[in-house]
Structure 1
Amino acid sequence: MSNTTPRVRELNLYRQYFDLVAAGAKSIEVRVKYAHLADLAAGDVIRFRIKGTEETCEVEVKQVTEYPDFETLLNGEGPSNINPNATRDEQLANIRAIYPPEKEALGALAIRIELIG
Protein backbone atom coordinates (compact mmCIF):
# COMPACT_ATOMS: atom_id res chain seq x y z
CA MET A 1 0.00 0.00 0.00
CA SER A 2 1.35 3.38 -1.02
CA ASN A 3 1.87 5.96 1.67
CA THR A 4 2.81 8.85 -0.59
CA THR A 5 1.42 12.33 -0.10
CA PRO A 6 0.01 13.95 -3.25
CA ARG A 7 1.91 16.87 -4.71
CA VAL A 8 0.16 20.19 -4.05
CA ARG A 9 0.35 23.02 -6.60
CA GLU A 10 -0.82 26.54 -5.89
CA LEU A 11 -2.45 28.36 -8.80
CA ASN A 12 -4.26 31.69 -8.94
CA LEU A 13 -7.78 31.99 -10.34
CA TYR A 14 -9.98 34.96 -11.17
CA ARG A 15 -13.00 35.30 -8.87
CA GLN A 16 -15.56 34.20 -11.50
CA TYR A 17 -13.72 30.92 -12.15
CA PHE A 18 -12.86 30.36 -8.49
CA ASP A 19 -16.56 30.58 -7.59
CA LEU A 20 -17.41 27.95 -10.24
CA VAL A 21 -14.70 25.60 -8.90
CA ALA A 22 -15.71 26.14 -5.27
CA ALA A 23 -19.35 25.38 -6.17
CA GLY A 24 -18.34 22.18 -7.98
CA ALA A 25 -19.75 23.56 -11.26
CA LYS A 26 -16.42 23.63 -13.14
CA SER A 27 -14.85 20.25 -13.89
CA ILE A 28 -12.16 21.33 -16.38
CA GLU A 29 -9.50 23.97 -15.70
CA VAL A 30 -7.72 25.37 -18.76
CA ARG A 31 -4.05 26.29 -18.59
CA VAL A 32 -1.16 26.87 -20.94
CA LYS A 33 1.41 24.08 -20.91
CA TYR A 34 4.04 26.01 -18.97
CA ALA A 35 7.15 24.11 -17.90
CA HIS A 36 6.01 24.11 -14.23
CA LEU A 37 2.79 22.29 -15.23
CA ALA A 38 4.32 19.81 -17.68
CA ASP A 39 4.43 17.02 -15.07
CA LEU A 40 0.98 17.68 -13.59
CA ALA A 41 -0.75 14.31 -13.24
CA ALA A 42 -3.81 12.54 -11.88
CA GLY A 43 -3.67 12.36 -8.09
CA ASP A 44 -2.01 15.77 -7.70
CA VAL A 45 -3.82 18.43 -5.69
CA ILE A 46 -4.29 22.00 -6.87
CA ARG A 47 -4.92 24.70 -4.30
CA PHE A 48 -6.63 27.53 -6.14
CA ARG A 49 -6.30 30.99 -4.66
CA ILE A 50 -7.84 34.30 -5.56
CA LYS A 51 -4.74 36.46 -6.01
CA GLY A 52 -4.21 38.88 -3.15
CA THR A 53 -6.59 37.07 -0.79
CA GLU A 54 -6.51 34.16 1.61
CA GLU A 55 -9.47 32.48 -0.14
CA THR A 56 -8.56 29.00 -1.35
CA CYS A 57 -10.18 25.78 -2.44
CA GLU A 58 -8.55 22.46 -3.21
CA VAL A 59 -9.24 20.05 -6.04
CA GLU A 60 -7.85 16.69 -7.01
CA VAL A 61 -6.52 16.31 -10.53
CA LYS A 62 -8.35 13.43 -12.20
CA GLN A 63 -6.83 13.67 -15.69
CA VAL A 64 -4.65 15.98 -17.77
CA THR A 65 -5.12 16.15 -21.54
CA GLU A 66 -2.91 18.18 -23.85
CA TYR A 67 -4.26 20.00 -26.90
CA PRO A 68 -2.49 22.08 -29.58
CA ASP A 69 -4.69 25.13 -28.95
CA PHE A 70 -7.71 26.42 -27.03
CA GLU A 71 -10.19 25.90 -29.85
CA THR A 72 -9.34 22.20 -30.12
CA LEU A 73 -9.52 21.92 -26.31
CA LEU A 74 -13.02 23.43 -26.20
CA ASN A 75 -14.16 21.09 -28.98
CA GLY A 76 -12.69 18.06 -27.19
CA GLU A 77 -13.81 18.78 -23.64
CA GLY A 78 -17.12 20.57 -24.15
CA PRO A 79 -17.51 24.20 -23.09
CA SER A 80 -20.07 23.45 -20.35
CA ASN A 81 -17.39 21.56 -18.38
CA ILE A 82 -15.14 24.63 -18.43
CA ASN A 83 -17.69 27.35 -17.73
CA PRO A 84 -21.39 26.46 -17.65
CA ASN A 85 -22.29 30.16 -17.62
CA ALA A 86 -20.69 31.15 -20.95
CA THR A 87 -21.04 30.15 -24.58
CA ARG A 88 -18.22 28.42 -26.43
CA ASP A 89 -17.36 31.62 -28.33
CA GLU A 90 -17.40 33.70 -25.13
CA GLN A 91 -15.09 31.19 -23.46
CA LEU A 92 -12.66 31.17 -26.36
CA ALA A 93 -12.53 34.97 -26.29
CA ASN A 94 -12.08 35.01 -22.49
CA ILE A 95 -9.30 32.41 -22.53
CA ARG A 96 -7.48 34.23 -25.32
CA ALA A 97 -7.81 37.50 -23.39
CA ILE A 98 -5.90 35.85 -20.53
CA TYR A 99 -3.35 34.02 -22.70
CA PRO A 100 -1.97 35.82 -25.78
CA PRO A 101 -1.08 33.87 -28.97
CA GLU A 102 2.54 33.26 -27.96
CA LYS A 103 1.35 31.55 -24.77
CA GLU A 104 -1.32 29.51 -26.60
CA ALA A 105 1.44 28.32 -28.95
CA LEU A 106 3.00 26.45 -25.99
CA GLY A 107 0.00 24.11 -25.99
CA ALA A 108 -3.18 23.95 -23.92
CA LEU A 109 -3.94 21.71 -20.95
CA ALA A 110 -7.41 20.51 -20.00
CA ILE A 111 -7.14 19.60 -16.33
CA ARG A 112 -10.10 17.50 -15.15
CA ILE A 113 -10.67 18.37 -11.50
CA GLU A 114 -12.85 17.29 -8.61
CA LEU A 115 -13.49 19.43 -5.55
CA ILE A 116 -12.02 18.00 -2.34
CA GLY A 117 -14.24 18.01 0.72
Structure 2
Amino acid sequence: MSTTHRLNLYRQYFALVASSSKTIEVRVKYPHLENLKAGDRIEFRIKDTEERCEVEVLRVAEYPSFEALLDGEGAEKVNPSASREQQLANIRAIYGPEKEALGTLAIEIKLI
Protein backbone atom coordinates (compact mmCIF):
# COMPACT_ATOMS: atom_id res chain seq x y z
CA MET A 1 0.00 0.00 0.00
CA SER A 2 1.43 3.36 -0.97
CA THR A 3 1.62 6.33 1.35
CA THR A 4 1.40 10.01 0.48
CA HIS A 5 4.01 12.20 2.15
CA ARG A 6 3.61 15.97 2.31
CA LEU A 7 6.83 17.96 2.01
CA ASN A 8 7.65 21.63 1.53
CA LEU A 9 9.92 22.88 -1.24
CA TYR A 10 11.47 26.25 -1.97
CA ARG A 11 9.88 27.90 -4.99
CA GLN A 12 12.95 27.46 -7.25
CA TYR A 13 13.03 23.69 -6.64
CA PHE A 14 9.25 23.37 -6.84
CA ALA A 15 9.39 24.90 -10.34
CA LEU A 16 12.00 22.32 -11.40
CA VAL A 17 9.87 19.43 -10.07
CA ALA A 18 6.66 20.82 -11.61
CA SER A 19 8.39 21.08 -15.02
CA SER A 20 9.76 17.48 -14.72
CA SER A 21 13.34 18.72 -15.11
CA LYS A 22 14.26 17.72 -11.54
CA THR A 23 14.12 13.94 -11.17
CA ILE A 24 16.10 13.52 -7.92
CA GLU A 25 14.93 15.17 -4.70
CA VAL A 26 17.57 15.49 -1.95
CA ARG A 27 16.62 15.10 1.70
CA VAL A 28 18.22 14.34 5.03
CA LYS A 29 17.30 10.93 6.42
CA TYR A 30 14.95 12.25 9.09
CA PRO A 31 12.92 9.67 11.05
CA HIS A 32 9.68 10.66 9.22
CA LEU A 33 11.29 9.67 5.89
CA GLU A 34 12.75 6.31 6.97
CA ASN A 35 9.79 4.39 5.54
CA LEU A 36 9.72 6.25 2.21
CA LYS A 37 9.77 3.71 -0.61
CA ALA A 38 9.17 3.19 -4.31
CA GLY A 39 5.47 3.44 -5.12
CA ASP A 40 4.80 6.10 -2.48
CA ARG A 41 3.68 9.56 -3.49
CA ILE A 42 4.93 12.93 -2.38
CA GLU A 43 2.80 16.03 -2.42
CA PHE A 44 5.23 18.91 -2.68
CA ARG A 45 4.00 22.34 -1.69
CA ILE A 46 5.38 25.81 -1.34
CA LYS A 47 4.95 26.80 2.28
CA ASP A 48 2.15 29.29 2.98
CA THR A 49 0.73 28.98 -0.55
CA GLU A 50 -1.85 26.79 -2.26
CA GLU A 51 0.69 25.61 -4.85
CA ARG A 52 1.01 21.83 -4.96
CA CYS A 53 2.34 19.12 -7.24
CA GLU A 54 2.37 15.38 -6.78
CA VAL A 55 5.06 12.91 -7.71
CA GLU A 56 5.52 9.18 -7.57
CA VAL A 57 8.62 7.83 -5.82
CA LEU A 58 10.49 5.53 -8.21
CA ARG A 59 13.48 4.76 -5.99
CA VAL A 60 15.13 5.84 -2.74
CA ALA A 61 18.91 5.59 -2.28
CA GLU A 62 20.89 6.44 0.83
CA TYR A 63 24.28 8.15 0.79
CA PRO A 64 26.70 9.10 3.59
CA SER A 65 27.02 12.71 2.36
CA PHE A 66 25.59 15.24 -0.08
CA GLU A 67 28.83 15.07 -2.06
CA ALA A 68 28.51 11.30 -2.48
CA LEU A 69 24.85 11.73 -3.44
CA LEU A 70 25.57 14.29 -6.18
CA ASP A 71 28.39 12.11 -7.55
CA GLY A 72 26.30 8.94 -7.38
CA GLU A 73 23.10 10.33 -8.90
CA GLY A 74 24.43 13.05 -11.20
CA ALA A 75 24.08 16.70 -10.25
CA GLU A 76 22.07 17.46 -13.42
CA LYS A 77 19.22 15.27 -12.14
CA VAL A 78 19.06 17.22 -8.87
CA ASN A 79 19.17 20.69 -10.43
CA PRO A 80 19.85 20.99 -14.16
CA SER A 81 20.29 24.78 -13.86
CA ALA A 82 23.17 24.79 -11.34
CA SER A 83 26.72 23.43 -11.23
CA ARG A 84 27.66 20.63 -8.84
CA GLU A 85 29.61 23.07 -6.64
CA GLN A 86 26.71 25.53 -6.58
CA GLN A 87 24.29 22.76 -5.63
CA LEU A 88 26.53 21.49 -2.85
CA ALA A 89 26.73 25.02 -1.41
CA ASN A 90 22.94 25.47 -1.73
CA ILE A 91 22.14 22.12 -0.09
CA ARG A 92 24.58 22.76 2.76
CA ALA A 93 23.04 26.21 3.29
CA ILE A 94 19.71 24.45 3.91
CA TYR A 95 21.08 21.50 5.92
CA GLY A 96 23.95 22.02 8.36
CA PRO A 97 26.66 19.39 9.07
CA GLU A 98 24.68 17.93 12.00
CA LYS A 99 21.77 17.21 9.62
CA GLU A 100 24.02 15.77 6.90
CA ALA A 101 25.50 13.43 9.53
CA LEU A 102 22.06 11.73 9.80
CA GLY A 103 22.55 10.43 6.25
CA THR A 104 21.22 11.72 2.95
CA LEU A 105 18.50 10.43 0.65
CA ALA A 106 18.26 10.64 -3.12
CA ILE A 107 14.59 10.25 -4.01
CA GLU A 108 14.00 9.51 -7.68
CA ILE A 109 10.65 11.03 -8.64
CA LYS A 110 8.25 11.23 -11.55
CA LEU A 111 5.60 13.93 -11.88
CA ILE A 112 2.06 12.56 -11.81
Range class of TM-score, shorter chain: over 0.9
Residue 39 of structure 1: SS of its match in structure 2? coil
Structure 1 distance, partners of 2:91, 2:111, is 22
Q: CA RMSD in A?
A: 0.5
Task: Confirm whether residue 11 of structure 1 aligns to residue 7 of structure 2.
Answer: yes
Unaligned runs of 5+ in 2: none
Give me the TM-score of the superposition, normalised by structure 1: 0.95
Aligned to 1:47: 43
1:62 matched to 2:58? yes
Identity, in percent, stands at 67
Partners in 2 of 1:38 and 1:111 — Cα distance? Answer: 12
Unaligned runs of 5+ in 1: none
Q: How does 1:1-117 map to 2 (within 5 A)?
A: 4=1, 6-116=2-112
| TM-score normalised by structure 2 residue count | 0.99
Q: Give the letter aligned to residue 106 of structure 2.
A: A
